[in-house]
Each structure stands twice: as structure tokens, then as C-alpha cells.
Amino acid sequence: MKGTNLGEFEELVLLTVGILQEEAYSIAIAKEIKRVTKRNVIFAVVHSALNRLEEKGYVDSKLGGATQERGGRSKRIFTISAAGKKALLRSKTQRDALWSLMPKVVFKNI
């Protein structure tokens, strides 16, 4: 297994996989990220993030249904694994901890 830390983009992807549930395949994920974050995500980058996540064991994948638009090729549906959930939680707890330490003054003038 590669390093177990979760990159910022990876976290986004992982969260989106969680959100989309059974619909989580690469195109849907890329679109959802674009819709929510307004970032211009390059499709290949999403795929490479998914690939890394799978190598780290944070997502599992299986082949899903095929459509005519795909030339009869099936989709690879990703699901978040137990390790993935843990990693997400860990990252959230870390951030919450940091947020709780943030002095309110910092945001006063925004």
C-alpha cells in the first residue's frame, strides 16, 4: 500500500463517491465536483485520483451497467470502502480540531 494520507483533491473525490452512492462512476463524479466546487476538473485527473484511491484501498470498484452511448462498454462503479470511510472521518476530525482552535478574530473583517 502506498502512503495513507489523503490529498485535498482525493478527499473531494472520495466525498463525492460517498455522496453519489450507486451512481459513482468517473463521469458522474467529475460532473458533481464541477457542479459543487465550480472548479474546472479535468476528467483524466479525476480518474487518476480514483486510481490512487483504489491503490490505497479507500475505494472498491466493480463493473456496472453498459449503455449504448458508451458503445456497449460498462461503467466502473466505485464504492467507498471501510478504510476510506475511516480516512474521511480522520480528516474531518483533524480539521474540526483545528477549526475549534481558530480564534474568531481572524474572520472579523471578511
Partner 1 sequence: MKHKPPVWADRFFAWFCAPHLLHDLQGDLHERFYERVRDYGVRSARFQFVLDVFSFFRPYILRRRKHGFSQTPFRMLFGHYLKSAFRSMKRDKQFLVVNTFGLALGIGCSLLLIAYVYTELSYDRYVDDPSSVYRISCSTVIDTKETQFAPIPPAIGLALKEALPEIKDMARFMTWSYTTGNSSVTYQDKSFYQQNIFIADSTIFKVITFRFLAGNAAALRQPDRVVLSHTLATKIFGPDYLERRDLLQTVIRIDKQELAVGGVVKDIPYSSHWHPEALVGWQGRGNDNVWDDSHAYTYIRVNPGTDPQVLQKRITDFIAANENIKKVAEAFGAKVAVFLQPLTDIHHHSDKMYELSPGGSVGYMYAFSVLALFFLFSSGINYTNLAIAASAHRFKEIGVRKVIGALRHQIQKQFMIEAVLITFIAAAIGVGIFYLLIPRFNTLMEYKLDMSIFRQREFLMTATGVVLVLSLLSGFYPAFYLSWINPIQILKSKLSGGPGKAHFRKTLLMTQFAISAIMIVAVLVVSAQMRYLSQKDLGFSKENVMIITIPDAYMKDLLVLKEKLLVVTGVSGAAVCDYVPGYSDMVDEHYVERANGEMKSSTVSRLHFDKDYLRVLGLEVIQGRNFDPTNEADYKAAYLVNEAAVKAYGWDKTPQGPLGRKIEGFNYGKKGQVIGVVKDVNLFSLKQKVAPLVMGLTPYASFLYVKTDGEHPTEMVSRIEQTYKAVMSNEPMTYQFLDERLMRLYESDQKMNAALVSGSQVLIFISCLGLFGLSAFMVTQRTKEIGVRKVLGASLREIMVLLTRDYVRLIFMANLVAIPLGYLLMQQWLKSYAYRVDLSWWMALVPVSLTVLLALLSISFQVARASRANPVRTLRYE
* Interface residue list for partner 1 (CB under 8 A): 25-27, 42-45, 47-48, 51, 63, 66-71, 73-76
Helices (H), 64-106: 82-101
Kind plus residue range of the DSSP H or E element containing 32: helix 26-37
Q: 79 by DSSP, 3-state: which? A: strand
Nearest-approach distance from CB 22 to partner 1, in angstroms: 16
Nearest-approach distance from CB 16 to partner 1, in angstroms: 15
Q: Nearer to partner 1 by C-beta: 5 or 51?
A: 51
Q: Nearer to partner 1 by C-beta: 55 or 96?
A: 55
Q: How far apart are CA 16 and CA 36, in angstroms?
A: 10
Q: Nearer to partner 1 by C-beta: 18 or 47?
A: 47
Q: How far apart are CA 24 and CA 9, in angstroms?
A: 16
